[in-house]
């Protein structure tokens, strides 16, 4: 089982804000990154180093961390944001990497 826990599914109305969380003790020590995956496609990096956005990623995506929880926020969700989202970091030992359990985001 993953050491990074996410809610299985969330929904958000078009244009509204949604926050996805990732909880794990290792997040107190190691950075989290976030990935968006649409059906049949490879994942895409949307946030790295807890709160940094790669070039080309819309600024409606933002990240933060507090204690053992990392968060990804989509402000003004668009229809094209509907996807699975995964967090990623190291495990508690720091010697292996691990993905979160994943969150399915539905835009209503």
Partner 1 sequence: QVHLVQSGPEVKKPGASVKVSCKASGYTFRTFGINWVRQAPGQGLEWMGWISAYNGNTNYAQKVQGRVTVTTDTSTSTAYMELRSLTSDDTAVYYCARGDWGTEIDFWGQGTLVTVSS
Residues in contact with partner 1 by the rule CB under 8 A: 2, 30-31, 33, 35, 37, 42-45, 48-49, 54, 84, 86, 88, 90, 94-102
Q: How would DSSP label each residue in 40-58?
A: TS--EEEEBTTTB--TTS-
Rounded to the nearest whole angstrom, what is the least distance from the CB of residue 105 to partner 1 in the complex? 14
Nearer to partner 1, 10 or 45 (CB): 45
Nearer to partner 1, 33 or 62 (CB): 33
Rounded to the nearest whole angstrom, what is the least distance from the CB of residue 12 to partner 1 in the complex? 21
Nearer to partner 1, 6 or 18 (CB): 6
Rounded to the nearest whole angstrom, what is the least distance from the CB of residue 15 to partner 1 in the complex? 28
d(CA 51, CA 61): 9
Nearer to partner 1, 64 or 101 (CB): 101
CB 65 within 8 A of CB 12: no
């Amino acid at each position: 089982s993953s050491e990074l826990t996410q809610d299985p599914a969330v929904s958000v109305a078009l244009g509204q804000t949604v926050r996805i969380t990732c909880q794990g003790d290792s997040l107190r020590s190691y950075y989290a990154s976030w990935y968006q995956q649409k059906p049949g496609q490879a994942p895409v990096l949307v946030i790295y180093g807890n709160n940094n956005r790669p070039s080309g990623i819309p600024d409606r995506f933002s990240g933060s961390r507090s204690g053992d929880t990392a968060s990804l926020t989509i402000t003004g969700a668009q229809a094209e944001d509907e996807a699975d989202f995964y967090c990623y970091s190291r495990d508690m030992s720091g010697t292996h990497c691990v993905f979160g359990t994943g969150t399915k985001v539905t835009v209503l």
